[in-house]
Amino acid sequence: MAEILVLVEHDAGDVKKVTLELLTKARDLGEPSAVFIGPGYATAESVLKEYGAAKAYVTDAEDIASYVGGAADVLAQLVQSAQPAAVLTAATPVARETAARAALRTGSGMLTDIVDIEDGFVARQDVFGGATIVRSVVTSGTPFLCVRGNSFEAHAAPAETVREDVTVELTDAVKAAKVVDRVSEVKSGRPELTEASIIVSGGRGMGSGENFTIVEELADALGGAVGASRAATDAGWYPHQLQIGQTGKTVSPQLYVAVGISGAIQHRAGMQTSKTIVAINKDSEAPIFELADFGVVGDLFTVVPALTQEVRTRSPR
């Protein structure tokens, strides 16, 4: 069966949900091999087994993650030695950069922001607010396919994962750029934005940073994450790292609730592949309604607290 490499997204061995989704898809396409780079494999091993990685290529050298291009060197070396049918990574900024460098080194093509992979490694991307579906194939080398989180449902299918240690000689070019510090983001207790199945986002219609508590309360009632439009982050009402859109995060949750957001093209670029979109806006002409599956025309300060109350009544958390 064709080997499919899956680059593991993890935080010191704490494997991210998107990797489980990629392993699940890789099982449809061939035989998944996890590529684990950095410290923490002992923590990750059981979950990689649970989700069916037949093999795990492990590079746990402490310094590998210190170099911006270190992971790319490992991936490029594995592509050359294992000759996989494809490489799957998340479409996160770091994974995209790793995939791009490794693809270049192996003379391969790369596609990103993928929402589905069909037979023959045909990648599907939804563009222009989901109005256009693009299907593309890589025509050179090994396909590097960067997939958005939440594109596939993760299902367990336990396997005996065979560990294979990989050592790599980092090139001088890679050693030219070193990471000197990493600062952990302060966690809010809510799901991470790019991993969340449910996101409630607030825009300029919120009127102030304090009013974001309304959005947070709905997100907490639904067990979701909180996002914001650029108008809201530029105004200093919400942190920039939670901005969704062209110059912010790209998300694809099961449910996206846009509160007081007009639906500018740059915002849509970051959330248009959400499975179900709900818009709450007092302007019935707001462009967000063109994209929404469900819309409420009304004052968010009335609608959102009522919705939160209803959610709490129906499913107390």
**Backbone φ and ψ of 294, nearest 5°:** -135, 140
Residue closer to ligand FAD by CB (options 83, 266) is 266
Q: Return the closest-CA partner of residue 110 out of 150, 149, 76.
A: 76
In the region spanning residues 278 to 297, those forming contacts with ligand FAD, defined by CB under 6 A, are 281-283, 286
Piece of the chain touching ligand FAD by CB under 6 A; list 10-18, 71-79, 153-161, 237-245 = 237-245
H or E stretch covering 149: none
Regarding 213 and contact with ligand FAD (CB under 6 A), the answer is no
Residue closer to ligand FAD by CB (options 31, 192) is 192
Separation CA 1–CA 56 (nearest Å): 16
Q: Report residue 74 CA to chain centroid gap.
A: 22
Regarding 245 and contact with ligand FAD (CB under 6 A), the answer is yes
Residue closer to ligand FAD by CB (options 52, 205) is 205
Separation CA 200–CA 212 (nearest Å): 10
Residue closer to ligand FAD by CB (options 5, 277) is 277
Regarding 247 and contact with ligand FAD (CB under 6 A), the answer is yes
List the structure tokens of 254: 């099961």
Show the DSSP H helices in 87-187 as ranges: 93-105, 172-175
User: Which one of residues 246, 254, 311, 312 is an interface residue with ligand FAD (CB under 6 A)?
Assistant: 246
Site string for ligand FAD, 171-210 (x = CB under 6 A): --------------------------------xxx-----
Q: How many residues belong to the site for ligand FAD (CB under 6 A)?
A: 27
Residue spans of beta strands (DSSP E) within the chain: 3-7, 10-11, 14-15, 31-37, 55-59, 86-90, 110-114, 116-118, 122-127, 132-136, 144-147, 162-165, 198-202, 225-228, 255-259, 276-281, 294-297
User: Which one of residues 299, 306, 309, 310 is an interface residue with ligand FAD (CB under 6 A)?
Assistant: 299
Regarding 27 and contact with ligand FAD (CB under 6 A), the answer is no
Write out the residues near ligand FAD by the rule CB under 6 A.
203-205, 229-232, 243-248, 260-262, 264, 266-267, 270, 281-283, 286, 299-301
